[in-house]
Amino acid sequence: MRFCPKCGVDIEKGVFCRDCSIENLDLKFKDMVVKFCIECKKVFHKGSWSVYQEINDAIKKVAIFKISNTQKIPLTIIVPDFKPEFKPGLNQEISLLIIATYEGVDVEFEIPFTLEFTYCARCSKKDSTYFEGILQLRDVSQEIIDFVQADLKEKEAKGVFISKFVPLKNGMDFFLTSQRYLRNLGNRLTKKFNGTLKFSATLFTRNKETSKDVYRLSVLFRERKYKVGEIIEQNEKKIKIKYVGKRIHGVDTSNGKKVFVE
């Protein structure tokens, strides 16, 4: 019969008994907590949020990363059967089974592990009053409104949300959570539709950590009255619009002469 050289207990295989093997593993467990976003189903790992397919695989990946294993001992992590409670602010406690192969012996023990259900930085902006800028649509057609609403709906998956929507007599205001997206949307509106675009920034606050001023952006898009190719009447003459800019000009359909539209 073999015996453990450390404590003298009889053993059937390996060099040390189970208890002494656990002591010799020199494994350290610190901050055994993993964060999950309940909105976009992402896990916080190595300082950033990333998508996961199976929650058990995400738990194993984070747990193995958090275990200090200086001896590079082969570890197997088994997640128990459990039902995740995807509720904001909830901490769910589970026990992970660790199987460490040391000196020819599989040593099994359990460690506590905490699942923290919350919102990632991006999803925390949804359904909140937070906004970085305002899209101001003025004197626009329903086509433009439909385009903006469809585009915003599509961008929700990327973390762009409408904080507030204010209808007005001659347009509407969209309070948006992404200043970068707002600027991009404004530029796309001018390329797709006939209109003028103006940007303005107002000081909102000052970042205490960076000591930098924080601004909110306003983007004003106003649809132009005339479109290229449109035929209008001016001074009892039919004018075909040829150019729309700071000044609008076209041609008199009766003689082909250039005419500025008032």
Q: Is 249 exposed, middle or buried (0-12, 13-18, 19+ CB in 10 A)?
A: middle
* Cα–Cα dist 255/33, whole Å: 80
Residue 189 tokens read as 């509106």
Residues of the chain with pLDDT under 70: 1, 13-16, 18, 21, 206-211, 245-246, 262
What DSSP designation does 13 have?
Answer: S
What pTM was computed for the model?
A: 0.54
Ramachandran angles phi, psi of 20, nearest 5°: -70, -30
Q: Are 260 and 242 in contact (CB under 8 A)?
A: no
Tokens 């000009």: give the residue.
Answer: 249
Q: Say what the pLDDT of residue 210 is.
A: 66
Q: Say what the pLDDT of residue 41 is.
A: 85
- Residue ranges covered by each domain of the chain: 2-118, 125-223, 231-261
